[in-house]
């Protein structure tokens, strides 16, 4: 019996300093969220789960509403902050830090969260979902960093290079037998590729 998780990375959301949890989708992001719903319209979906952040919820809201499903949020599926709120860094420094965090799972900038720490909080949630909803298909509204960190726990090829080529939004179909990841299939965009261990 397989369990399917659809990882849905949120659509475009304008960065607003200090509003990491509450910033929503841009007009372009809202249009893309409609397309996410289209991509998943023929899929059997039993549950919709999300990060508690507004942009992740808004990206999967219509998927849930079309099936009369409630969105269940988990605080431990929130995005991974590579730096603390008081630490100001340019984009180049942030990307370099994210890259380093996949080479050294204990690495982060001042006040940030390492890959190892992010896995310690997020993987128990994923395992709970896999064990409690065995045989079901579950959509998870998520973020680029934490999505890659979760996928990396199951297969190491999901690393910084993978993170860099993901898009906003993005959709990955992950098929599990119990807690073993069998296949990953990208559903978003023109490139439909399957990656197997």
Q: Quote the tokens at residue 165.
A: 């080529």
Q: What is the pTM of this model?
A: 0.93
Q: Are strands 180-186 and 170-177 parallel, antiparallel or unpaired?
A: antiparallel
**Looking at domain 2-196, which CATH architecture does it have?**
3-Layer(aba) Sandwich (3.40)
pLDDT attached to residue 86: 80
pLDDT at 196: 33
pLDDT the model gives residue 15:
83
Domains of the chain by residue range: 2-196
Q: pLDDT tens track of the chain, all 197 residues?
A: 999 999 999 999 988 777 778 889 999 999 999 999 999 999 999 999 999 999 999 999 999 999 999 999 999 999 999 998 888 888 899 999 999 999 999 999 999 999 999 999 999 999 999 999 999 999 999 999 999 999 999 999 999 999 999 999 999 999 999 999 999 999 998 544 333 32
Give the per-residue pLDDT at 140: 99
DSSP secondary structure string for all residues of 26-87? -HHHHHHHHHHHHHHTTS---EEEE-SSHHHHHHHHHHHHTTT-PEEE-GGGSPPPSS-TT-
């Amino acid at each position: 019996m397989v369990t399917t998780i659809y990882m849905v990375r949120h659509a475009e959301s304008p960065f607003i300093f200090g509003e990491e949890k509450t910033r929503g989708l841009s007009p372009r992001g809202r249009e893309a969220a409609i397309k996410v719903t289209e991509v998943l319209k023929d899929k059997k979906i039993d549950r919709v789960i999300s990060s508690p952040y507004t942009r992740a919820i808004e990206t999967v809201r219509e998927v849930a509403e079309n099936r009369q499903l409630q969105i269940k949020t988990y605080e431990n599926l929130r995005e991974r902050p590579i730096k603390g709120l008081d630490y100001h860094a340019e984009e180049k420094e942030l990307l370099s830090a994210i890259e380093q965090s996949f080479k050294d799972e204990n690495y982060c900038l001042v006040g940030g969260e390492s890959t190892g720490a992010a896995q310690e909080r997020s993987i128990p949630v994923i395992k709970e979902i896999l064990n409690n909803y065995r045989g079901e298909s579950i959509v998870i509204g998520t973020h680029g960093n934490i999505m890659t960190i979760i996928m990396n726990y199951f297969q190491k090829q999901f690393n910084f290079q993978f993170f860099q080529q993901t898009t906003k939004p993005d959709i990955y179909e992950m098929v599990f037998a119990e807690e073993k990841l069998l296949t990953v299939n990208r559903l978003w965009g023109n490139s439909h590729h399957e990656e197997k261990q």
